[in-house]
Structure 1
């Protein structure tokens, strides 16, 4: 029993023991309760590979072996080079020195750079908690003042729900986390990605209730509906009332005696 105990692999983070080293490594990379800290800056990570990547990029524990063919700028990985190349193909002149990601505006680059530095320059005056971004501080302040509104620090637009606020912020930072699995194009929001994906799948979820023709996008259906309703209902001027139910009835013809002649057709038919 003592021999077996001495051969046990012990996790330095949480103290759990394993028979095999492979089990210990898997544990440290997946479900270790305590995070792994960087010995240089103290930043914590849940996975070992994240710590290794952090050391390479932030602390420079690796050489920049990959270079841009156009400007010869060097990067840690080829993936960073590909991100940087966007600056040469599009109007995105501001490039992150750490990961090579490019931006259209210098302010967007400044906001992005905080992700690498870990700097938290915005401090709450009430509880001293610090934040990387000003919008995070403003959202946090709602705890103290009871105000739940989310306001964009860049353009002043405000939101009642954090979900919509987060989606809006991506338009400023340039972040596009939603990727089409078919062509690789990226988008700032999931709905935009789903709409794009229909161009590949041919899905047409919007049917015309008059002729049955289907469309990929709601705006295409709206444009078609106006034309379709006017053709099938020339007397209807209100597109929102395609059946003409709210249209005034025409007065029937009256003869010289003031009576409605027999056989006069009804001015409205039930469909």
Structure 2
């Protein structure tokens, strides 16, 4: 039997990782929001990984309350994740993954492209996902993992925000509304550059976004979180002093300001 894994958050995404980890022989101990993390850490003081699978809006609350015993073995898989999120809590390098599969209530897992994983627990996550038929790959270079995190953010934000205007699917957005997608992506990349302090290869980011769009062309562009993502992006732009005229125009028309 392998070392246990703590799962902080037991929603749809957490359930996928729990399945894979159990299949790989790791006992899984869920920690839900009504549980005391310190009591949980006393029961499981030495996990292979403390995998945080809560939504992005709950991430900082969870990290602020993280028991000391788990701080050097954290795994993070949230959307819109960037190094500033774990650096704000003085965490050592966590295991991180840009997750490229979707799990909706009552529906099967929908893999899009292989999910990259980086850090001490990367092999654990890759093996767990591979074991249940979900593509994953290990990334060994920090700069490459930063690229992958930003690539996922550009995809999510562009499809969600442009989708407020177009509706429809990612395939339709790229094939029939490419100018809009490019305008939104350009401004999203401006924001990501400010958030990371790194100017990444923009042509490669857009190509990576397009690859994911066309890998699952029937994937819907928007969800309930789209206006919140747009509002958050404009808030960052305000902090950075960025104009982002297309994002502001979309917010004025569709909400999110």
| TM-score using structure 1 length | 0.21
User: More relative contact order in 1 or in 2 (CA 8 Å, sep 6+)?
Assistant: 2
| TM-score using structure 2 length | 0.22
